[in-house]
Amino acid sequence: MACVPVFPHEHHVAATPDSRSQGSFQPSLAQQHESAPLDKHPTRSLASASSMPRDHNHDHDQNQNLTMTLPEDSFDTHNCEPPSLEVTFQKEELLRMYMAMVTMRRMETTADTLYKSQLIRGFCHLCTGQEAIGVGLETALTKEDKVITAYRSHGFTYMRKGSVLPIIAELLGRNNGISGGKGGSMHMFTPNFFGGNGIVGAQVPLGAGIAFAQKYLGKKAATFVFYGDGAANQGQVFEAFNMAKLWELPAVFVCENNQYGMGTSAARSSANTDYYKRGDYIPGIKVNGMDVLAVHQAIAYAREWALTEHKGPLLLEMETYRYGGHSMSDPGVSYRSREEIQKVRSENDPITHLKERLLEAQVVSEAELKDMDKAARAEVDKAAKEAKESEQPDMKTFWTDVYVKGAEVPFLRGREPQETHFYRK
Ligand SMILES: Cc1ncc(C[n+]2csc(CCOP(=O)(O)OP(=O)(O)O)c2C)c(N)n1
Ligand SMILES: [Mg+2]
């Protein structure tokens, strides 16, 4: 299976059978599946029963395991062994991953359309092109693990919540949105997903704090802290690294290197673009973030690492690419060429990669994949219709959900002086 990384890794450290079996942090496949993925989420609707292929001419047993070997250049390492290149999945799990990625893409395309028709206002950051990260992440986590990211949060929210309607409704500012229609694109949360944060880099120390809380409370939960290449040079990121290492926190810092910040290439903004080495004393792994199976493998490895006593944090760099502009107000072609975007789309698309794997392994036929694409479209279109039909939040709730109950400041200023709201009379 040809699987081309976004940008071929220059300093690849090949996994040898020996290196893969060394060290207590290397989870066995059995362990990975114990801590795993989709089946541990009974409420998740990655793919409804009706949208999964039922009657095809290939292998009828979707519970059957399929073992595949990832390309040798899937990982580069800094002071640690690479994850195993052998991955085993049930066929049904692979189909659910495909379904999740196409649903996520359709959701973002729909958000793009709704934004352009001015039904979504304000900021809106889409993750089109980066789907393998959100999906590969969730397949390796348990519900109790924690996730925090910046403002490019729709894909993660979808995976943690398991449905599209609360996300589109939130974008449209409707009361059945995930934050009651009062948060918008950057402020989405679930009990174990801490958003959605608009201040670049600020989620990194917050994430270290969440990891600290898990350790303090004796919980067996790893915290995955996402940030971008554009945030990677901030002082607070290194301060968080330092404390996480000193306190051996169960944190995994994940740099989503999509090659650009807000209009500036990684090479123009970072003196060292090997983000996986930038933790210095924290070991790191560069991962082909366009391959959902490589992402899964790296996340499972990192989770095990973080939860092993005295190993402390790990750094992952997901090498990926964003197809759209930084946000809806950026066409995204003034600092990179259309040809570059087209080349990644046609040669290195994460959905196409998985599709090719599934076809090659005869897990599914082309026609069945088309049916899944159609089902994903129908699911998102239905959610968008329902979201559009729902109400805007009542103005009475305008001042609520700003502070934790009991922690409110005496008053909060609105846009106009006469809009001031007094929490304490
Ligand atoms: C502290 C702060 N400075 C500047 C901004 C404006 N800003 C928003 S996103 C961004 C670039 C971030 O790029 P990156 O971390 O690579 O994330 P990506 O958008 O590529 O996902 C900037 C400068 C901000 N939101 N917060
Ligand atoms: Mg970036």
Q: Check residues 352 and 27 and name the one with the higher pLDDT.
A: 352
pLDDT for position 425: 76
- Residue matched to tokens 């699987």: 3
3-state secondary structure 302-327: HHHHHHCCCCCCEEEEEECCCCCCCC
Tokens of 18: 């020996």
Kindly list the domain boundaries of the chain, sorted by start residue: 66-261+274-393
Q: Check residues 49 and 249 and name the one with the higher pLDDT.
A: 249
* Residue 228 near ligand 1, beta carbon < 6 Å: yes
pLDDT for position 414: 86
Give residue-wise pLDDT tens across range 322-344.
Answer: 999 999 988 899 999 999 999 99
What is the pTM for the complete model shown?
A: 0.87
Tokens of 148: 């925090």
Q: Check residues 4 and 109 and name the one with the higher pLDDT.
A: 109
Looking from the CA of 312 toward its CB, the CA atoms found within 13 Å total 16
pLDDT for position 63: 81
Return the ligand 1 atom nearest residue 232 CA: 15
Over residues 359-388, mean pLDDT: 97
Alpha carbon nearest to ligand 1 atom 21, residue: 228
Which residue among 200, 227, 257, 320 has the greatest number of ligand 1 atoms within 8 angstroms of its CB, and so is best to mutate?
200
Over residues 107-116, mean pLDDT: 98
Nearby residues for ligand 2 (ion, Cβ within 5 Å): 228-230, 258
Q: Are 178 and 190 in contact (CB under 8 A)?
A: yes
In angstroms, the CA 105 to CA 131 distance is: 7
Q: Kindly give the distance from the C-alpha atom of residue 254 to the centroid of ligand 1, in angstroms, as a whole number.
A: 15
- Mean pLDDT across the chain: 87
* Residue 317 near ligand 1, beta carbon < 6 Å: no
The answer to whether residue 310 scores a pLDDT higher than 60 is yes
In terms of CATH architecture, what is 66-261+274-393? 3-Layer(aba) Sandwich (3.40)
Q: Check residues 16 and 48 and name the one with the higher pLDDT.
A: 48
Q: Check residues 52 and 349 and name the one with the higher pLDDT.
A: 349
pLDDT for position 27: 25
pLDDT for position 4: 31
* Residue 154 near ligand 1, beta carbon < 6 Å: no
pLDDT for position 152: 98
The answer to whether residue 50 scores a pLDDT higher than 50 is no
Over residues 2-22, mean pLDDT: 30
* Residue 263 near ligand 1, beta carbon < 6 Å: no
The answer to whether residue 40 scores a pLDDT higher than 90 is no
* Residue 258 near ligand 1, beta carbon < 6 Å: yes
Over residues 257-275, mean pLDDT: 97
How open is the CA angle 250-251-257, to the nearest 5 degrees? 155
Q: Kindly give the distance from the C-alpha atom of residue 257 to the centroid of ligand 1, in angstroms, as a whole number.
A: 12
The answer to whether residue 298 scores a pLDDT higher than 60 is yes
The answer to whether residue 286 scores a pLDDT higher than 50 is yes
Residue 17 binned pLDDT confidence (cut-offs 50, 70, 90): very low
